[in-house]
Amino acid sequence: MSHELTTEQQRLVDEVREFADAVVAPAAYEYDTRRELPYDIIRTMGEMGLFGLPFPQEYGGQGKDYFSLCLAVEQLARADQSIAVTLEAGVGLGVMPIFRRGTEEQKREWLPALVRGEALAGFGLTEAEAGSDAGGTRTTARLEDGEWVIDGSKQFITNSGTQITSLVTVTAVTGEETMPDGSVRKELSAILVPSGTPGFVVGPSYDKVGWHTSDTHPLTFTDVRVPETNLLGERGRGFANFIQSLDEGRVAFAALCTGAAQGCLEEAVRYAGKREVFGRPIGQNQHIAFTIARMQARVHTARLAYYDAAHRIVAGKRFKLEASIAKMVGSEAAMANARDAAQIWGGYGFLNENPVARHYRDAKILEIGEGTTEVQLMIIARELGFAGAA
């Protein structure tokens, strides 16, 4: 396996990097302060084909692969993590489950607008007492006269309340199933719920520490009725199918982490080269230079980890272990680099208008979202044969 990019991949990286520097970065502070999703930027990303990168042209996509998506996400995250996660979650959690598990009718109905970036979709898994622990799911869906009737609530759902959100895929308890050992567990299924469906209420946006531009809401479902044909995939396989999508999504999330770490590194290098103390740039001091050297090492390691996992996806190989490693290593690199960059910038690094300050606020969620560090350690331990690690 080579980590060298092809000419086409490098062209994509250059294009998205230029867009991030020229369009995303200059607007980041304004939209972060206003806590608004910049629809003009999202629309341009759609016109660039970013939301359709890993999807076939027959659905309006670009016909490229998952690695290409990761490359784009990394470049956006250098400038603004909120914009990067809008793309990452929009594709990985919004579009990918429908593409992987949907019927041809569902794909024809929903994919074209989603892959063009004209619409966004969310995935409603997490609840107040359920997330990694699917057994805690309390949202229910029952069949009644050819319709699913959904009741319950979800928490922390990305891209669920934007002006262009078209639907949310919801996991719900649709019954019970008896296991071979005689035990009984909840049957979980995934159901497509269009925005505006009566009884489907999007709560107020959260007041978050970071990711201010990213759209995140709680959702409630009260006697929500959708056609029986809105079942996504096989009944009872909702959580299992989502875990597969989540494993894949963690690789793009790791690319986001790498981009954030890279952005912090670039800001630290820039400042250390121009800020003078006692007559010379602070980068000439060994402590600062060594700190930046460690930042570079973290970025390099994180990038290699997600490159490896992404290549395994493209090659059709097993990648669960590598995805968790990439996500954990990348998120820790981003958090450490944000801390070091803020320290190097000193007082200026504590001003919200500084990209370093925004990365510092944003980086913490990278160790929590799409599976906490502890969940990644559990998965890695299990893959090594320690089944009792949970």
Catalytic residue list: 370
Q: Which long-range contacts (CB under 8 A, 24 or more apart) does 15-19 make?
A: 15/48, 16/48, 16/50, 16/71, 16/72, 16/75, 16/76, 17/75, 17/78, 19/44, 19/45, 19/48, 19/75
DSSP state of 367: G
In degrees, rounded to 5, the angle at the alpha carbon of residue 177 between the alpha carbons of residues 174 and 178 is 170
For residues 233, 125, 381, 295, the Cα torsion angle rounded to the nearest 10 degrees is 120
Please say whether the dihedral angle defined by the alpha carbons of residues 348, 349, 351 and 353, taken in this order, is positive or negative. positive
- The closest alpha carbon to 87, from 41, 136, 36, belongs to 41
The whole-angstrom separation of Cα 69 and Cα 77 is 12
Q: Which residues pair with 120 in a beta bridge?
A: 165
Residue 49 to residue 343: CA distance in whole angstroms:
37
Provide Rg for the chain, Cα atoms. 21
